[in-house]
Every structure is written in structure tokens, then in C-alpha cells.
């Protein structure tokens, strides 16, 4: 059977039902399809008989499936040995950068956040020997689940038979073009994906800072060095950016917000030298952030403060802050406390003596059942335990739960935070939950967990285990809580090396449901 005879309703591999044609590219057809085995939408590529690059596309798809980055579109299946060769990919539901820019450019901090996420995914692909070579605004997606996705890595170049001498430089310029478009609403090398071409000056396209007011000097410089390398060293300082890894390193120095799209208030691109309002800054309490400095391998992150992005609310003081405040009590209050303790002790001793005289048959050295030590006393005596690793846990979704920023939840700085993804509906309508997993240096007896969180309306469980599990069910529930920042004292100590803060409900902020952990401390012995 030849693929050019396939019509909607046909089924491949006895499970992928082809529903409708999305696009055609020189003998390759992209379908929206349904995986009937797993009851989910998928994208399927089929190829006309005699298409010369079928094997190359299938090999590229298989290589893409091995890229360890959740922002790369997943490849589920690929086979060129059947009568109808095919490639099955994730069907990303959401808005492309082109869709977002149809309403106007993004505010600089959000443009930086969105494109920096894409850059880390492209850098991870390059580390695995794959390239994109075809980056356009339609290839960068903001999914309905609240995640950045880059489509077409490896596969697009294979479909077109694209080969270049320096793929790293091509993809670095492609990332610069995406940032240029996100900042200005123009595409620097002519019309693309519904965007008009950038205004031209004597040396070519104007740098973004000359097109739109409000673009910071660092962003203007990075964008120009990447998208307009011929102007590097002339109109902006520094050499051209020639690899995705270098692009990521440059963006690590730029404050950026979580890439939550904001609807701009104007729709037409501005003329050179004019300004444009694009919406309000992030007020989710997450603050701006920086990305990993490497090209996708080390995912650690640092945070950058921005005076233009205030926190939505002042977070509740953590238990660490409260203990520090208590340690600074005045001498007068200490004296009053000592007197109160002495009086209380005298009352307790008198009551015990009276009880002993009334119960002569009971051994006074044996405490009664009601005198067992209070868990709160154990928690107060417990010490902070060393955290050596962390990650976001999302076993019921296909996106990474911001693992790169997980260390910000225990870096000792309450002004930085780990955030969940943003969800458009209440979490319990989407999935059982998401979590922040903490790894201790070794297995410990755990007595309490202090949580400093932004906002109110959380529901969560504290789970503990000795195995580095991939699901919340791999950990034992030892406590639960709701509301806002608080100290969670375990009724009974739990032993384990891994602590999972498992959120089953998140607060609503603006139009999304999102959780933020400013600081977490695990205490035990």
C-alpha cells in the first residue's frame, strides 16, 4: 500500500488512526492522528512512495527520542520497515510563538524566559549530535499544560535534506531570530509565520533596542550578537554568538520571568523608535530567574532579582526566621520566662507528689501513658538536615516540573523560588498532583518539614522513602497539610533519604494555578 492513497480514517500499525492532514512537505505528510491504544492525540508523518529521505527521517526521529530534555517534542514510534513507513510524535496542544505574537511583542522578561527555555532544549540536542536548522516562530510552543516545547528537532532538517557547514552557528542565529521576534514582533530576515520583516537600516535590520523601547541593553546585545552577527563588535560589544551553548551562557546573565504568556494590549508591530505596552510583569511571587550556564547538561540554576518585578506578596516568615527572631529576645523577657518555668516546675512536682501518695501501688519511677514525649518537642530538638539534590516530580504528565529551578527552594534565599508549572484548571481536574523531591545526604529520622510558600490555598502531603522513586506511590505518606506557609510536625518520626512534598491543590494567581516554594527545610536526627 502506498501512502499517497491513504485517506482519513486509515490505521497504521493497527493503532494509529489518521484523522486529518495538517501539512505537506515535498512528499511527506503530517497528520493529526489518534493513538487508539492509549487514547491520545498524536502527530504522524507518512511518506509518499519513492520519497528519498524516509530512512533519514526515521533515524533522526529515533535519535530525537533519546534527547533527555522534556522540552523536546517526544517521539513515540518510528518504523521504515513496514509497507507504510511512519514517524509518530507528541501532539502539542497550545500556542506557538507566532500565535502569541499575533497580538504584539512580549515584555522583555517573558521573551527572555521563553526563548532561554528553547535554547536549553536546542543545546541539549546539539550535545546529542542533533540540530534543528529550521527554527521559526511556529516551532516554539507554549503548551496548554504550561510548558515550553520545541518541535521539529532533527526531523525537520532530515525532511528537507538540509545540511550546513556549521549547524551550531545556524541554530544560534535561529535562537537569536526567535528572541528578536519575541522582543519586537518582527522577523529579522523577511516575513515569516505571519510576522512582517524587520525595518531595515543602512547595515541591515535595526537592532531590537532601536525598534522598541524597553528592551534592556543586555537583551539588545545578546539578540544582536546572535541574530545579526554582522553587527557584533560594531553596533554592540562582543563577538557573534555561534552556538546554542554560548547563547545559553549569555542568557544566564539576563533576569527572566517564567515564560507565562501575557496578552499584549496592541496588535500591530511598532514603527522603529516607538514604544509599546505589552502587559504587566509577573506577580506570581516567583521573581525573575536565570537559566543553567551550560548547554542543557547541567541543569542547576541561579536567580536574578529585578527591581521591575516585585513579588506579589510578602512571604510568611519561615521557621528558620522565627527561630532567629526568638534567639534575639530581650534579657527582661528571658528573666520572665525563667521565673515562669520555675513556678510551672514547682506545680508539676507538687501534683506528681500528690498523685503518688494517692496511688501507693504504682511505681513512681514509671511514667504514665499520658506522659509520652510530645512530637513537637522532638521537632524542636531536631536539627536541619543536609539536602544534596532535588527535582520536580510530574509522574502524571509529560513535562518537566521545573527541575532546573528546584535548588532555589533550599538555597537559603527566600527571595528565590521553585515553581510548579502553571495550570489553567485546578490541579485535581488535571491529575493527582505534582511534587518537589528532596534528596538528603543519607537516610535520617525525620521529625518536621518547614515550608515557606507563596500564596494560600495549597493542599499537600509529606512523603518519605529510601528509594529515588519516579511516582508519588514510591513514598510513604507521613503527614499532610493545607493553607499557606507552615511547619509540618510528623506525629511519628519517619526514616528515609528522600522527602517528597506532594501538592494535590495549588493556589490560583491570575488565570493560572501555580505553586511556589520559596524555602524548605527538613529537620531530624
Q: Which of 90, 119, 151 is the last residue of a domain?
A: 90
Q: What is the CATH number of the domain that holds 41?
A: 3.30.200.20
Range of the domain at 79: 3-90
Specify the length of the chain in residues: 525
Does any domain span residue 36?
A: yes
Task: Please report the pLDDT score of residue 201 as a whole number.
Answer: 87
Q: Is residue 22 within 8 Å of 46, Cβ to Cβ? A: no
Does any domain span residue 303?
A: no
Q: Is the domain of 148 the same as that of 74?
A: no
Q: Is the domain of 152 the same as that of 228?
A: yes
Q: Give phi and psi for 51, each to the nearest 5.
A: -60, 125
Q: Which of 28, 60, 90 is the last residue of a domain?
A: 90
Q: Is the domain of 152 the same as that of 237?
A: yes
Q: Is the domain of 177 the same as that of 29?
A: no
Q: Is residue 122 within 8 Å of 177, Cβ to Cβ? A: no
Does any domain span residue 341?
A: no
Q: Is the domain of 17 the same as that of 84?
A: yes
Give the chain's residues under pLDDT 70: 1-5, 258-380, 510-511
Q: Is the domain of 54 the same as that of 202?
A: no
Residues 6+ away with beta carbon under 8 Å from 220: 207, 208, 209, 236
Q: Give phi and psi for 125, each to the nearest 5.
A: -65, -45
Does any domain span residue 373?
A: no
Task: Please report the pLDDT score of residue 174 as a whole number.
Answer: 98
Does any domain span residue 334?
A: no
Q: What is the number of structural domains in the chain?
A: 3
Q: Is residue 281 within 8 Å of 107, Cβ to Cβ? A: yes
CA–CA gap between residue 219 and residue 216 (Å, rounded): 5
Does any domain span residue 53?
A: yes
Does any domain span residue 265?
A: no
Q: What is the CATH number of the domain that holds 503?
A: 2.60.120.260
Does any domain span residue 396?
A: yes
The predicted model scores a pTM of: 0.53
CA–CA gap between residue 159 and residue 87 (Å, rounded): 11
Q: Is the domain of 42 the same as that of 105?
A: no
Q: Which of 213, 229, 251 is the last residue of a domain?
A: 251
CA–CA gap between residue 21 and residue 6 (Å, rounded): 11
Strand partners, 23: 30
CA–CA gap between residue 59 and residue 264 (Å, rounded): 41
Q: Is the domain of 245 the same as that of 110?
A: yes
Task: Please report the pLDDT score of residue 343 as a whole number.
Answer: 55
Q: Is residue 41 within 8 Å of 33, Cβ to Cβ? A: yes
Among 428, 431, 490, residue whose Cα is nearest residue 463: 490
Pairing of strands 486-505, 458-465: antiparallel
Q: Is the domain of 183 the same as that of 232?
A: yes
Q: Is the domain of 106 the same as that of 18?
A: no
Residue 481, helix vs strand vs coil = strand
CA–CA gap between residue 447 and residue 6 (Å, rounded): 62
Q: Is the domain of 186 the same as that of 46?
A: no
User: At which residue does the C-alpha cell 532535588 appear?
Assistant: 390
Q: Is the domain of 55 the same as that of 203?
A: no
Task: Please report the pLDDT score of residue 340 as a whole number.
Answer: 53
Amino acid at each position: 500500500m502506498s501512502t499517497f492513497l491513504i485517506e482519513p480514517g486509515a490505521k497504521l500499525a493497527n493503532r494509529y488512526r489518521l484523522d486529518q492532514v495538517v501539512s505537506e512537505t515535498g512528499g511527506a505528510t503530517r497528520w493529526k492522528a489518534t493513538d487508539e491504544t492509549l487514547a491520545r492525540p498524536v502527530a504522524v508523518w507518512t511518506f509518499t512512495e519513492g520519497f528519498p529521505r524516509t530512512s533519514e527521517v526515521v533515524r533522526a526521529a529515533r535519535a530525537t527520542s533519546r534527547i533527555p530534555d522534556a522540552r523536546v517534542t517526544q517521539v513515540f514510534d518510528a518504523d521504515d520497515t513496514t509497507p507504510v513507513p511512519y514517524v509518530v510524535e507528541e501532539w502539542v496542544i497550545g500556542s506557538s510563538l507566532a500565535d502569541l505574537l499575533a497580538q504584539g511583542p512580549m515584555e522583555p522578561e517573558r521573551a527572555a524566559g521563553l526563548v532561554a527555555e528553547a535554547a536549553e532544549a536546542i543545546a541539549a540536542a546539539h550535545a546529542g549530535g542533533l540540530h534543528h536548522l529550521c527554527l521559526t516562530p511556529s516551532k516554539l510552543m507554549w503548551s496548554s499544560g504550561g510548558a515550553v516545547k520545541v518541535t521539529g528537532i532533527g526531523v525537520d532538517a532530515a525532511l528537507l535534506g538540509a545540511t550546513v557547514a556549521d549547524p551550531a552557528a545556524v541554530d544560534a542565529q535561529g535562537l537569536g531570530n526567535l528572541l528578536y521576534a519575541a522582543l519586537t514582533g518582527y522577523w529579522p530576515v523577511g516575513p515569516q509565520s505571519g510576522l512582517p520583516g524587520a525595518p531595515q537600516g543602512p547595515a541591515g535590520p535595526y537592532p531590537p533596542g532601536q525598534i522598541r523601547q524597553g528592551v534592556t541593553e543586555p537583551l539588545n546585545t545578546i539578540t544582536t550578537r546572535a541574530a545579526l552577527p554582522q553587527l557584533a563588535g560594531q553596533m554592540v560589544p562582543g563577538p557573534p554568538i555561534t552556538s546554542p551553548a554560548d547563547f545559553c551562557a549569555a542568557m544566564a546573565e539576563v533576569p527572566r520571568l517564567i515564560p507565562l504568556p501575557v496578552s499584549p494590549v496592541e496588535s500591530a508591530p511598532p514603527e522603529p523608535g516607538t514604544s509599546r505596552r505589552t502587559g504587566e510583569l509577573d506577580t506570581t511571587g516567583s521573581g525573575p530567574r536565570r537559566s543553567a550556564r551550560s548547554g542543557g547538561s547541567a541543569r542547576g540554576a541561579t536567580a536574578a532579582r529585578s527591581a521591575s518585578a516585585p513579588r506579589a506578596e510578602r512571604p510568611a516568615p519561615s521557621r528558620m526566621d522565627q527561630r532567629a527572631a526568638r534567639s534575639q529576645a530581650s534579657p527582661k523577657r528571658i528573666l520572665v520566662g525563667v521565673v515562669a518555668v520555675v513556678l510551672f516546675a514547682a506545680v508539676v512536682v507538687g501534683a506528681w507528689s500528690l498523685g503518688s501518695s494517692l496511688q501507693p501501688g504504682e511505681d513512681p519511677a514509671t511514667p504514665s501513658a499520658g506522659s509520652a514525649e510530645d512530637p513537637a518537642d522532638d521537632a524542636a530538638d531536631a536539627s536541619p538536615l543536609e539536602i544534596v539534590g532535588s527535582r520536580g516530580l510530574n509522574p502524571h504528565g509529560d513535562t518537566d516540573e521545573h527541575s532546573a529551578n528546584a535548588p532555589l527552594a533550599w538555597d537559603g534565599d527566600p527571595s528565590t523560588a521553585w515553581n510548579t508549572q502553571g495550570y489553567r484548571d485546578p490541579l485535581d481536574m488535571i491529575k493527582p498532583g505534582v511534587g518537589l523531591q528532596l534528596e538528603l545526604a543519607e537516610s535520617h529520622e525525620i521529625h518536621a518539614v518547614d515550608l515557606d510558600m507563596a500564596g494560600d490555598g495549597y493542599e499537600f502531603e509529606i512523603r518519605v522513602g529510601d528509594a529515588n522513586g519516579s511516582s508519588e506511590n514510591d513514598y510513604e505518606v507521613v503527614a499532610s497539610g493545607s493553607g499557606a506557609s507552615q511547619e509540618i510536625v510528623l506525629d511519628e518520626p519517619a526514616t528515609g533519604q528522600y522527602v517528597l512534598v506532594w501538592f494535590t491543590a495549588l493556589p490560583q494567581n491570575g488565570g493560572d494555578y501555580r505553586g511556589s516554594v520559596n524555602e524548605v527545610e527538613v529537620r531530624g536526627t
